[in-house]
Structure 1
Amino acid sequence: MSRPIPDLCLESLTGETVCLRELRGRPVILSFWVTWCPACQQDLPTKDRFYRSLPTDAPLVMYSINVTGREVEPERVAPFVHQLGLALPVLTDKGRTAYDAFGLTSVPATVLIDAQGNIRGIFDETVPFVNVVAEAGKLLL
């Protein structure tokens, strides 16, 4: 699989705007999730530990994306992130815009993007995150 990423800009919980096209030049891991999903609740801390292990000048970019359009109570997202103590930056989807643009059908879902801005893999909750990291490592060679 290799197709260009959608041209999207998303806002972070801290008010920063992140445009996917501006991330070109480094591989990117995007993790889509919602608060009510038990698999997401298990998945996020693992991804957060990996994110925390990256040096500040890492050749890899990583964001999580809350699928706001699938949240029952979107106002619970910030308290949920605070409760988990996530350092992993959280972007908020505009409804389901990014989720649908990537063709996702479930959460958690992880999207791997190469440095040229092409989707190199979409992984659902059945794929261990260590496998995603291994695939991301191949993009760094």
Structure 2
Amino acid sequence: MNKPLAPSFFLTDLQGRTHRLKQYAGKVIWLEFWVTWCAACQDTLPKKEVLFRAIQHPDLVFLTIDVTGREASPDRVTAFMEQFPFTFPVLRDEGTKIYDAYGITSVPTTVLINKQGEIHGMYDETVPLPEVIGEIGTLLSS
């Protein structure tokens, strides 16, 4: 069964670096969509920071995308990042352009993209993190 190709994107992170989906071709990609006001995001992002630091695999890319179009004020991201000094890349959506392109309806949402550039799965906050990690393991071993 064919899976849908992940929509391409070209976004800038908080340090001004550009990230293109195609630059990560052939790798497993973990995309994490979030916003600063989301209690579930505030709860899970620190746990995902620990995973980001622990899982240093050459075939895994971890990117987060702040959905600026769902923020009360996009400027809140800077203060949020001062409060939570994450080391993973934080990309800024162009409003809800990438959020909408992926068909996402809530935050946080994790999107796993396989090495072929296809969406393997989408997981909201109700999916236990160990299940998502298991899926990453499956993707990395294939």
- Which interval holds the TM-score relative to the shorter structure? over 0.9
Structure 1 segment 22-33 matched on structure 2, within 5 A: 22-33=23-34
Q: What displacement does 1:133 show?
A: 1.0
Q: What displacement does 1:58 show?
A: 2.8
Counterparts of 2:120 and 2:60 in 1: how far apart (Å)?
A: 14
C-alpha offsets along residues 73-106 of structure 1, whole Å, 9 cap, x if unaligned?
1101022012111011100000001100000000
Counterparts of 1:34 and 1:59 in 2: how far apart (Å)?
A: 27
Return the TM-score normalized by structure 2.
0.95
Q: What displacement does 1:54 show?
A: 2.4
What are the ranges of 5 or more consecutive residues in structure 2 without an aligned counterpart? Answer: none
C-alpha offsets along residues 39-81 of structure 1, whole Å, 9 cap, x if unaligned?
00001001110001123x5320001100000000110102201
1:22 maps to a residue whose letter is Q
Q: State the match for 1:10 in structure 2.
A: 11
1:63 maps to a residue whose letter is L
Tell me the C-alpha RMSD between the 2 structures. 1.1
Q: Matched residue of 2:52: which SS?
A: helix
Counterparts of 2:8 and 2:60 in 1: how far apart (Å)?
A: 19
Q: State the match for 2:89 in structure 1.
A: 89
1:38 maps to a residue whose letter is A
Counterparts of 1:45 and 1:121 in 2: how far apart (Å)?
A: 22
**Which runs of 4 or more aligned residues in structure 1 lie more than 3 Å from their structure 2 counterparts after TM superposition?**
none
Tell me the matched-pair count: 140
1:45 maps to a residue whose letter is P
What are the ranges of 5 or more consecutive residues in structure 1 without an aligned counterpart? Answer: none
